[in-house]
Chain A
C-alpha cells in the first residue's frame, strides 16, 4: 500500500539546498534584468480551465496536459505553458491597459510527457517576458536583447540565439499552392533538415523550378546573416519578401545593441506553425541537447480571448539553463554559513546580540541549538564548511576560532562589535 511513499513521481523532483540556492539565484538575476527593461511581473494560477489551452492556436497537445475535474465536472489542467494564460489575461482583463504592455513571469509549467520522452521533466520552471501591442522589428529585437541580457546575467557565456521567420515558409507554401497535408509533411521534413525527403516529396509536384529549388534548399539555409542576402533575390512572393526584410531589420537593431555575435539565422526553423505568426527564435548552448530559451511572435493568440493584439515573447527554461551552467563551470560555489555561534544560558543574550549585528552586516550566522562539545562543534563546522566558530560564555568571555586559518582569539562583546571582527 505504501510502497511509493519514499519516492517522487516520474518527471518531478526535489531540489536540495545547494541546487535550490543556485536556482533561486538564477531566477533572481534573470528577473532583475526583466525589471530593468521595464517588464513588470504578473502571476497566473497553476490551475486553468482546459478550454484556455484547447483553442486552435494552442501549442500543446491535449495528451500532454495533466487534467482533472472541478466539482461541476468542468475540465481543469495544470498549466502546460505560461504564455497562453497571459494572453487570456490580456484578452479579458487588460482592455484599459496602455500599450505597449511589458510583462514578465517566473513559474512552473507542467507537461505530462510520455515515459522515455526526450524532455524528461514534467514540471519545469520558466522565466519569461511578453511585449504586447507592438509588432515592429524594434519590439522583436528588444525581446531578443532582453533574453540575451538575462542569459548573460545568469552567468552563461557561450550561447547562440538563432532567429527564423515562419511567415517566410508560409509565404512559400502559399505561392506553391500545395494542399495542407502536403505542406505539413514538407514542414516536418524541413524542420528535421531532411533534404532528401523534401526533394522526394517535391519531385511529383508541378511547382515552378525556381520556387521548388528554394523550398528544397530550406533545410540548408542556416548560419550567418549573409543567408538573408543570398535568399532575397530568389524570393518572389510578397509575404516571404517582407519576412526577410523584417529579419534583416531586427538583425540591424541587434547590431546597434552590440549583440550580433550571439545571433545566427535559420530559415528552415519551422516548428509549431499554428501558434507563431512571425519571427521565432531559439537559444542554444554547450552541455544541454535542448534549447534553453525559445520565443517568437504570436499575433493571433490574444484574439482567441478578446480583441486582437500583437504580441511577442520569450521564455527561458531555468532547469536547462541550470544544467548548462553546471556543466560549463566545473566548480559550483558551495554555499556555507560564515559563522557558527555556540552559547550557554549565561551567554544567550550576548550571543543573540552578536548574531543580530553580524546578520545585519550581511553575514550568514547559524546558532547551535543544543549543547555541543568542542570536538562536535569543529566536526560540524568543518563538515558544513563554516568560516568560524564563536563561543559565547558571557559578554566578557568570547572565543573566536577561525576554522580556515586555525587562528584562535579571546575577546569581549565591546571589542567584537566595536571592531566588527570577521570570525
Chain B
C-alpha cells in the first residue's frame, strides 16, 4: 500500500488538526511530543504527516507531494491553487477585512488612488480592482501589518481579524469585510481519483465527526 501524505500548517492549525485525527482513530501519538521532526508516520493506516509553513500547504498539495492538506481559507485564496476543497473544518474561523483609522471610512469611498499594506497581495488586488473598481498601490508586508497606517506607510490594510483586539489596541477599526475564513481540508486532484477509497474514508469520518459535534 502506498503512503498517503497529509500536509499540516505548522502552528495552532496543526494542533487542532492532530486532535481531529485522534478523534477519528488515527495513530498520531508521536506528533504530540515536542520534537523538531517534520515527518511523522502512521504505519497502521500508511499515513505520513508533514509539517510545513501554512502558505506552502497548497503548493505541496497541488504538486502532489502531499495528497491532502489542512490549511486556512486565507492561504487558499492567496495562493490560488488548483485543488479539491473537500471540507470546511470550521475551526480557525476569522474574517478577511479592510481596516484603518476611523477617519478613512468616508474617504475610502471617494479616494481613487491610495496605498494598501497587506500580506495578502492577491486578495487585496482582487477586492479593490475587481469588486471595488479602484486602482490602488499595494505594499506587501510580511508581518505587523497594523503598523503601516500608524506610521503613514499606507492609508489602509487588508488583513485577517479574529477578535479585533490587535486592531483596537492600535486604534484601527474594520472598514469593510471581504470574506469569512476558516480551515479547509484540501485534496490533490489526482490523488482524489487514484486513492479514492482511502481519502473518502477520512473525509467521511471527519464529516461524521463534524455532524456529531454540531449536534452535541
Q: Which residues of A contact B (CB under 8 A)?
A: 116, 118, 160, 162, 192-197, 222-223, 264, 266, 284-291
B188 partner residues in chain A, CB cutoff 8 A: 289
> Are the C-beta atoms of A160 and B194 separated by less than 8 Å?
yes
A-contacting residues, B40-88, CB 8 Å: 59, 61-65, 81-88
Tell whether, in the assembled complex, residue B84 and residue A193 are in contact, meaning their CB atoms are under 8 Å apart. yes
Question: With a CB–CB cut-off of 8 A, which chain B residues contact A160?
Answer: 193-194
A389→B88 CA distance, assembly (Å)? 66
A286→B62 contact, CB < 8 A: no
Indicate if B167 sits at the interface (CB-CB under 8 A).
Answer: no
Q: By the criterion CB–CB under 8 Å, are B64 and A288 in contact?
A: yes
Cβ contacts under 8 Å, A288 to chain B: 64, 190
Contacts A118-B81, A118-B82 given; does A286 touch B87 at CB 8 Å: no
9 example contacts (A-B, Cβ-Cβ < 8 A) are as follows: A193-B85, A194-B85, A196-B88, A284-B190, A286-B194, A287-B64, A289-B62, A289-B63, A289-B64
4 extra A-B contacts, CB within 8 A, seeds A192-B85, A193-B84, A264-B193: A195-B86, A266-B193, A284-B189, A285-B194
Shortest beta-carbon distance from B120 to chain A in Å: 15
Give CA–CA (A222, B199) in the complex, Å.
Answer: 13
Contacts of A222 in B (CB 8 A): 193, 196
- The complex places the Cα of A160 from the Cα of B83 at a distance, in Å, of 18
Taking the closest CB of chain A, its distance from the CB of B209, in whole angstroms, is 15
- The answer to whether A289 and B193 have CB atoms under 8 Å apart is no
Asked if B2 is at the interface of the complex by the 8 Å CB criterion, the answer is yes
Residues of B within 8 A of A286 (CB): 2, 194
Q: Are A192 and B64 in contact (CB under 8 A)?
A: no
Contact in complex: A223, B196 (CB < 8 Å): yes
Cβ of B196 and Cβ of A192 under 8 Å apart?
Answer: no
**Nearest CB on B from A340, distance (A):** 42
The CB with the most chain B CB atoms within 10 A, among A160, A193, A195, A223, is that of A193
Distance of A38 from chain B, by nearest CB (Å):
30
A266 CA to B192 CA in the complex, in Å? 11
Q: Select one of B81, B86, B191 contacting A193, CB under 8 A.
A: B86
B8 shortest CB reach to chain A, Å: 18
Bound-state CA distance A90–B191 (Å) is: 37
Enumerate chain B residues within 8 angstroms of A290, measured Cβ to Cβ.
Answer: 64, 189-190
The answer, among B2, B86, B187, B193, for a CB contact under 8 Å with A162, is B193
CB distance from B60 to the nearest CB of A (A): 9
Q: Which residue of A lies closest to B86 (CB)?
A: A193
In Å, the complex CA distance between A197 and B180 comes to 12
Contact indicator per residue, chain B 89-116, by CB within 8 Å of chain A (1) or not (0): 0000000000000000000000000000
Do residues B87 and A289 form an inter-chain contact, with CB atoms below 8 A?
Answer: no
Q: Which residues of B contact A118 (CB under 8 A)?
A: 62-63, 81-82
Beta-carbon contact of B63 and A192 below 8 Å: no
Q: How far is the CB of B115 from chain A (nearest CB, A)?
A: 23
Give the residues in chain B near A195, CB-CB below 8 Å. 86
Establish whether residues A196 and B62, one from each chain, have CB atoms under 8 Å apart when the complex forms: no
Nearest chain A CB to B138 CB, angstrom units: 16
List residues of chain B with CB within 8 A of the CB of A284: 189-190, 193-194
Residue numbers in B under 8 Å from A287 (CB-CB): 64
Name the distance in Å between A226's Cβ and chain B's nearest Cβ: 13
Is B87 touching A196 in the complex (CB atoms < 8 A)? Answer: yes
